[in-house]
């Protein structure tokens, strides 16, 4: 489930729709937790899909570290990539704000932090300072050492900020770590 105080609107012509904060979101706020309405598909299930559905799937899924595909039921699928993201995945089923997000700012993730296949590399249009121009499976930002300090700092804020998605913690990987 996506953080509730967000809205869907046009991010840019290049990236399409995006998810934007309706008010400031402090670092350490859980911005997404997988819930029972999200749907997992195995690699085998995806291979059996008709070609017409595969085109749709390529824009609306997250690839989990175990290889499965996750189709989210809400606007989470419209979160765009940024080389300087506002959010990052702690585990396959939880995402957290890794910096303060201003009211009206787009919530973004670094797609290289997901499981990308070699064929999934793509040209980046994020225009962030330090943009890598191409997002690839072997990007340095996909390495645990890159994300670990940011995630640890954000996690220290978990109990210091309002958590509208707290009711979903019990079913998440975060609950086991907290």
Residues 6+ apart with CB under 8 A from 56: none
Note the pLDDT tens digit of each residue in 58-92: 666 777 766 788 888 899 989 998 989 999 987 77
Beta-bridged to residue 89, according to DSSP, are 95
User: What is the pLDDT, as a whole number, of residue 14?
Assistant: 84
Measure the CA–CA gap between 104 and 22, rounded to whole angstroms. Answer: 6
Tell me the domains of the chain and their CATH numbers. Answer: 6-32+77-173 (2.170.270.10)
Inform me whether the pLDDT recorded for 142 exceeds 80.
no
The answer to whether the CB of 61 falls within 8 A of the CB of 77 is: yes
Inform me whether the pLDDT recorded for 8 exceeds 60.
yes
Measure the CA–CA gap between 17 and 9, rounded to whole angstroms. Answer: 5
With cut-offs at 50, 70 and 90, classify the pLDDT of residue 143.
Answer: low
User: What is the pLDDT, as a whole number, of residue 163?
Assistant: 94
The answer to whether the CB of 26 falls within 8 A of the CB of 161 is: yes
> The pTM is what?
0.87
**Upper half-sphere CA count for residue 92 (Cβ side, 13 Å):** 16
Note the pLDDT tens digit of each residue in 124-135: 888 888 898 988
Q: Which residue has the tokens 């940024």?
A: 82
Q: Which residue has the tokens 């990308």?
A: 116
CA 121 centroid distance within chain: 17
Measure the CA–CA gap between 174 and 54, rounded to whole angstroms. Answer: 31
Mean pLDDT of all residues in 46-67: 75
């Amino acid at each position: 489930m996506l953080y509730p105080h967000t809205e869907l609107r046009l991010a840019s012509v290049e990236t399409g729709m995006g998810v934007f904060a309706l008010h400031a979101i402090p670092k350490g706020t859980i911005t997404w937790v997988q819930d029972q309405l999200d749907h997992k598909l195995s690699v085998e299930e995806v291979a059996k899909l008709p070609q017409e559905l595969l085109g749709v799937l390529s824009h609306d899924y997250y690839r989990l570290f175990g290889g499965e595909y996750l189709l989210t039921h809400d606007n989470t699928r419209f979160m765009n990539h940024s080389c300087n993201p506002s959010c990052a995945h702690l585990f396959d089923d939880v995402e957290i704000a890794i910096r303060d997000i201003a009211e009206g700012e787009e919530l973004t993730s670094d797609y290289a932090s997901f499981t990308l296949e070699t064929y999934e590399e793509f040209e980046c249009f994020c225009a962030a300072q330090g943009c890598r121009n191409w997002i690839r499976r072997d990007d340095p930002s996909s390495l645990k050492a890159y994300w670990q300090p940011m995630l640890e700092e954000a996690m220290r804020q978990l109990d210091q900020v309002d958590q509208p998605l707290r009711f979903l913690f019990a079913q998440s990987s975060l609950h086991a770590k907290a």
